[in-house]
Amino acid sequence: MSQTAEMNATAPLNVAKRNLRAALKLKLKDVSHNSILSQSSTVFKTLKTLDAYRSAKRISVFLSMPTGEIQTDAIVRDALRAGKDVFIPYLYKNPAAGPGLPARIMDMVRLRDVADYESLQPDKWGIPSIDPATIPERQRVLGDPDIQHSDSTLLDLVLMPGVAFDIEPDNGAVRRLGHGKGFYDYFLFRHRLKATSLGQQEFPALLLGLALSEQFLSPSEGPVPVGPLDQPLNGLVLGNGDIKGPLAAAPLNETD
């Protein structure tokens, strides 16, 4: 397929995604701060009942924007205090940038402890962010071989944000609409390649979305438009305590 034909084939999908993002942006503007905090607390309590979280040793957690999505502060603190290796997103210029490749890509870098997490400064979107000057001394999931042994690091669990979610009726997987930059999709593709190179299973990490109830689409609002590069999730935890997707069938544990 020529580049022009490929662009023509993906144009309707891109339009559908942009339209849904615009609709959700308006919808989420009506969600109060108190509701976001309450739903975030429910997601945290529900997450702690899942064996996928309790047994994970190396997890990545998105750090939240101030509005419009689940707040993950309690999750980060709990995971660090539980002794888990906690990795957070870090965006940087793609050293291999070229035709067909993204200009900026994402890695996951490890937090040292709670004090390290509390030292992060907000970026222009209000998201706590890693100081680039500290990157060389941090363990990274996709980083080059270094003294932190990044070359052998793989994740057990990836906690993911999104704009909208629903369920694929044919297989029950969770469909996710991201913010349109492709950071997670490309990261997961590279993580999968790394796992294969290390002789691990094809999908070494469970993918779990965290979302406000308003971000889960009803049949009349859906479906979430997805393409061949959009990675389905293993599960979704909603702000009302519901668990969607394959992980919904997993047994729950008593909380601490």
Q: What is the CA 118 to chain-centroid distance, rounded?
A: 21
131, pLDDT greater than 80 = yes
Domain boundaries, the chain: 3-249
- What is the pTM for the complete model shown? 0.90
Indicate if the pLDDT at residue 145 is higher than 70: no
The predicted-structure confidence for 28-87, as pLDDT tens digits, reads as follows 999 999 999 999 999 999 999 999 999 999 999 999 999 999 999 999 999 999 999 999
Pull the structure tokens for residue 184: 């997670």
Tens of pLDDT, residue by residue over 157-180, are 999 999 999 999 989 999 999 999
- The position carrying tokens 């980083």 is 143
Average pLDDT over every residue of 105-109: 95
For a pLDDT cut of 90, what percent of the chain falls above it? 71
Q: Let me know if 165 is exposed, middle or buried by CB neighbors in 10 A (0-12, 13-18, 19+).
A: buried
| Greater pLDDT, 206 or 103 | 206
pLDDT grade, residue 98 (50/70/90)? confident
Q: What is the pLDDT, as a whole number, of residue 4?
A: 41
- The residues near 43 (Cβ < 8 Å, ≥ 6 apart) are 70, 210, 237, 238, 239, 241
What is the model's pLDDT at position 10? 72
Residue 150's pLDDT band (cuts 50, 70, 90): confident
How high is the pLDDT of residue 116? Answer: 97
Rounded to 10°, the helix 73-81/33-47 angle is 30
- The answer to whether residues 227 and 181 touch, using CB atoms and an 8 Å cutoff, is no
Q: Using omega within 30 degrees of 0 as the cis cutoff, is the peptide bond preceding 223 cis?
A: yes
Is the pLDDT confidence value at 23 over 80?
yes
For the domain spanning 3-249, the CATH number is 3.40.50.10420
Q: Which residue has the higher pLDDT, 134 or 252?
A: 134
